Amino acid sequence: MNNRYQIGNAQIIGCREIQSNYFATVFNENDDLLAVLADGTIDHPNGRAAAMMAVEICTNTFRQRFAIVQHEHGNQFLFDTAMKANSRIQETFYFGRSPRVSLAMVLFIGDKLQYFNVGVSKVLLYNGHNERTLGNVTSGSYSSGICEFPQGSIAGLFSAGAHANVHPMERLKIIESKKEVFDKAQAVIDTVRKKGLDNQMNATALLVEAAR
Amino acid sequence: MALQRCKNGHMFSEKKHGKICPYCNIAIGPEKGETTEDPLGQYTESYLDELEDKKRVVGWIVCVSGASKGKDYRILPEKNFVGRSPDMDIRILGDNSVNARNHAIIMYDPEKNHTVVLPGDSQGLVYKLDSEDSWEVVYEPKELSSGDRLKIGGSEFIFAAFCGDNEGFKFNWRDFDNE
């Protein structure tokens, strides 16, 4: 694994029958990192397929094209990639009920991160002792931006099931603990699991830490 | 804890899950010096993604106006049914004025080495731009040559031949089969 970033992830299916969250992290040849989390329609076969398709399109486009895109155009790249994923999903799942997909992407380049988020997933940034939500997503819109990502910071991509059922203080306590980032992601999802909620949705936590 | 990272970037515990990623079922690659045996098992059968397309392309239509503007569609030997349904050979998406099934038929005849357009058995009409630049309804088979324009539903297409006599460029797959 790359020494610049440490990655942790965890996932549970909750009370659902289909795991419709899918995620990936991928490095390109310049050691830039893309983390993607897609959340498809609940308990719908197309939801799982659409989430996987969205993630694969994002990672493949990143692998093939991002090296030739200027870094300052990262946000445009993320937007274009999301539009491409959406168009492919609409084309493929043309019949029947269209799956709705939440897509969160974070691009890590050196000591900066660029994010794009549409839907119900959350992108959070832990810097020092604070939790900061990147962008405020409203229905039918998306958020994107760029911010500093200094050493020791942690960025988290959380599906709705992981975000809504863990109190920010619980999350902060886990993130601030002296664990490896993989164990922190597991601990966040363990917290969700232990609550044993009747209507627990699929929950996924994907953390990326800038190595100290 | 021994962590593994699959090619999709999923982190997982090797102790708990072995060499197969629990998120995407991909087996992680062997270390240097290890054998390349696939822990998922040796496949002897062919699978969907390994199917080869045995039919050879004989031409294309390219959408120049309509919902699929810029998209190309391959024409294969014999009949190519045009519509929106998944079972159509040429599936035009996004234009609801194209009938779901058999709006038109584009047929390549290997014997005569030419391509023709025919009306389908659905309600919609197919138009071909004639020499006087007016749209003419296709009632009977009409031969196509490169550059011919077709209107199917609300979309417009230009035909480009690969097989056939195309202004001096003559091609037929049969010539290559006999070599």
Question: What would the pLDDT profile of A98-138 be if each residue is shown by its tens digit?
Answer: 678 899 999 998 888 999 988 888 999 998 778 888 876 55
What pLDDT score does A11 carry?
Answer: 93
Those residues with Cβ within 8 angstroms of residue A138's Cβ, 6 or more apart along the chain or in another chain:
none
Cα distances from B47 to residues A92, A95, A157, A198, B86, in angstroms, run 20, 25, 35, 40, 20
Q: Which residues of A touch B10 (CB under 8 A)?
A: 9, 23-25
Record: contact B93-A91, CB cut-off 8 A: yes
What pLDDT score does B165 carry?
Answer: 85
Question: Which of residues 75 through 134 in chain A touch B, CB cutoff 8 A?
Answer: 91, 94-95
Beta strand B126-129 with B149-152 is antiparallel
Structure confidence by residue, pLDDT tens digits, A33-85: 999 999 987 656 788 888 999 999 999 888 877 666 666 678 888 888 888 88
Record: contact A25-B9, CB cut-off 8 A: yes
Record: contact A59-B5, CB cut-off 8 A: no
What pLDDT score does B54 carry?
Answer: 64
Residue A206 has pLDDT above 90, yes or no: yes
**Banded pLDDT at A198 (limits 50, 70, 90):** confident
Q: Among A24, A94, A180, whose Cβ lies nearest the Cβ of B9?
A: A24
Chain B contact for A62 (CB, 8 A cutoff) = no
Residue B39 has pLDDT above 60, yes or no: no
Average pLDDT of the segment spanning B17-33: 77
Residue A209 has pLDDT above 90, yes or no: yes
To test the contact with chain A by mutation, choose from B6, B7, B10, B11 the residue with the greatest count of A C-beta atoms within 10 A, namely: B11
Q: Which of A93-107, A135-149, B4-18 has the highest mean pLDDT?
A: B4-18
Size of interface A-B (CB pairs under 8 A): 36
What pLDDT score does B34 carry?
Answer: 53
What pLDDT score does B50 carry?
Answer: 53
**Banded pLDDT at B152 (limits 50, 70, 90):** very high
Those residues with Cβ within 8 angstroms of residue A203's Cβ, 6 or more apart along the chain or in another chain:
A11, A12, A14, A21, A159, A161, A162, A165, A189, A192
Nearest CA distance, B8 vs chain A (angstrom):
5
Q: Which helix (H) or strand (E) holds A28?
A: none
What pLDDT score does A136 carry?
Answer: 66
Q: Among A11, A59, A94, whose Cβ lies nearest the Cβ of B93?
A: A94
Rounded CA-CA distance B59/B105 in Å is 14
Q: Which residues of A touch B23 (CB under 8 A)?
A: 9, 11, 22-23
* Residue with more model confidence, A79 or A93: A79
Nearest CA distance, A46 vs chain B (angstrom):
16
**Banded pLDDT at B69 (limits 50, 70, 90):** confident
* Residue with more model confidence, B168 or A206: A206
| pLDDT mean across residues, chain B | 84
Q: Which of A130-134, B7-11, B133-137 has the highest mean pLDDT?
A: B133-137
In this predicted structure, which of A30-39, A202-211, B38-47, B105-114 has the lowest mean pLDDT? Answer: B38-47
Nearest CA distance, A29 vs chain B (angstrom):
14
Q: Which residues of B touch A8 (CB under 8 A)?
A: 11
What pLDDT score does A67 carry?
Answer: 64
Record: contact B11-A7, CB cut-off 8 A: yes
In this predicted structure, which of A38-52, A158-172, B42-56 has the lowest mean pLDDT? Answer: B42-56
Nearest CA distance, B150 vs chain A (angstrom):
23
Nearest CA distance, A59 vs chain B (angstrom):
8
Query: Of all residues in chain A, what percent carry a pLDDT higher than 70?
Result: 89
Whether B13 and B28 have beta carbons less than 8 Å apart is answered as: no
What pLDDT score does B129 carry?
Answer: 94
Rounded CA-CA distance A79/B110 in Å is 46
Chain B contact for A187 (CB, 8 A cutoff) = no
Record: contact A182-B10, CB cut-off 8 A: no
Nearest CA distance, A8 vs chain B (angstrom):
6
**Banded pLDDT at B44 (limits 50, 70, 90):** low
The pTM (predicted TM-score) of the whole model is 0.65
What pLDDT score does A2 carry?
Answer: 63
Q: Which residues of A touch B84 (CB under 8 A)?
A: 94
In this predicted structure, which of A137-141, B34-38, B99-103, B155-159 has the lowest mean pLDDT? Answer: B34-38
Please classify residue A32 by burial: count the beta carbons closer than 10 Å to its beta carbon, then call 0-12 exposed, 13-18 middle and 19+ buried.
Answer: buried
Q: A11 has which bridge partners?
A: A204
Residue of A nearest to B2 (CA): A182
Chain B contact for A11 (CB, 8 A cutoff) = yes
**Banded pLDDT at A7 (limits 50, 70, 90):** very high
Average pLDDT of the segment spanning B102-111: 94
Measured from the Cβ of residue A113, the count of other Cβ atoms closer than 10 Å reads 24
Nearest CA distance, A169 vs chain B (angstrom):
25
What pLDDT score does A137 carry?
Answer: 56
Record: contact A182-B1, CB cut-off 8 A: yes
**What type of residue is A45?**
P
Q: And the tokens for B118?
A: 């025919």
Query: Of all residues in chain A, what percent carry a pLDDT higher than 90?
Result: 32
